[in-house]
Structure 1
Amino acid sequence: MEKPLGNGVPSTYAGYIASAWMIVFAAVSFYWAFGGTAGVDTVSLGQELAGEPWFITILWLTGILKLGGGVLALALVQSWGQLLPRRLVLVTAWGVSVLLVVHGSDFIIHGALTENGLIGLPAPAAWTTAHWQTFLWGPWWLLGGIAFCVATWNYQRRSR
């Protein structure tokens, strides 16, 4: 029987959300690596770098890492995850959690500073990557980080 959180929500939901988040995010990386262009202009220098061999390599590598993160998130909630060394799972999961939260927060803070004119843009534009970082990518990274934090915390509590 699954152990619910204090509000009746099963403690595994965050792990499944984190896994789905990572898989969706990996799909975007693979889409761009295959040459897709929708949304690439929302990423700093995305349009300029699309098609560059080293950028495509980075997209493939980050896509694979994101899939690995999806598996890690599942390890936090699936019974087979208990077969893995607890310390390794916790160190890796907390590391991913912190990385995602810090990266998302950085995007939001940097974007907010840009939006308020405290940081200048290299070239004025109606809708810049700063907007996308502030209102899409920052919150998206932060959402994944929060899901990972909750999933990791729940795993840590359950696996003692």
Structure 2
Amino acid sequence: MFVFAAMSFYWALGGTTGLNTVSLGQELAGESWFIMVLWFTGFLKVIGGLLALALVRAWDRWIPRWLLLIAAWGVGVVLLLHGGDFMVQGALTETGIISFSGPATWTSAHWQTFVWGPWWLLGGLIFCLAAWNYQSISAVD
């Protein structure tokens, strides 16, 4: 999550390397609302990284266990849906069932299908496993 946050912050600060792998990234670079979205998602990713750490550290002294569990399961499900959405849309695009609308490029669709989608899907699975593990451990305590 921290690596993805760093990427969002880099793009928000005007960096362009890798931006063409994100849907409409290069077309929207420099747009003030897109920069705000990048900052916002960057901070969400930092919070997600801290949440992941909270599941393996003794931070439940400060944060109630029930709140950590709700947040962890919620993040896991959102990441699964996000990655799955990328992969389904990408597969539909790759097979020609749907076509690009607007200035989207094949590069971003290909990256979302074969890199970003699976990566977010894997992150969702890992978050759900971490939540399940944390839930199992907290049930024993």
Identity score, percent? 65
Structure 2 equivalent of residue 50 of structure 1: 29
* Residues 1:125 and 1:46: Cα distance change in structure 2 (over 3 Å): closer
| Secondary structure of 2:56 counterpart | coil
- Partners of 1:123 and 1:159 lie apart in 2 by 49
Q: Give unpaired runs (5+ residues) of structure 1.
A: 1-21
Instruction: Note if 1:81 corresponds to 2:60.
Output: yes
Question: Could you tell me how far 1:125 is from its partner in structure 2?
Answer: 8.8
Q: Give the residue type in structure 2 aligned to 1:139.
A: P
- Which residue of the other structure, out of 14, 23, 27, is the alignment partner of 2:6? 27
RMSD: 1.8
Structure number with higher helix proportion: 2
Question: Could you tell me how far 1:100 is from its partner in structure 2?
Answer: 0.1
8 A contact 1:75–1:82 mirrored in 2: no
Question: Could you tell me how far 1:122 is from its partner in structure 2?
Answer: 3.2
Structure 1 equivalent of residue 132 of structure 2: 153
Q: Give the residue type in structure 1 aligned to 2:42.
A: G
Q: Give unpaired runs (5+ residues) of structure 2.
A: none
Instruction: Note if 1:69 corresponds to 2:69.
Output: no
Question: Could you tell me how far 1:48 is from its partner in structure 2?
Answer: 1.1
Question: Could you tell me how far 1:64 is from its partner in structure 2?
Answer: 0.7
- Partners of 1:80 and 1:154 lie apart in 2 by 15
Count of matched residue pairs: 139
If the length of structure 1 is used for normalisation, what is the TM-score? Answer: 0.81
If the length of structure 2 is used for normalisation, what is the TM-score? Answer: 0.91
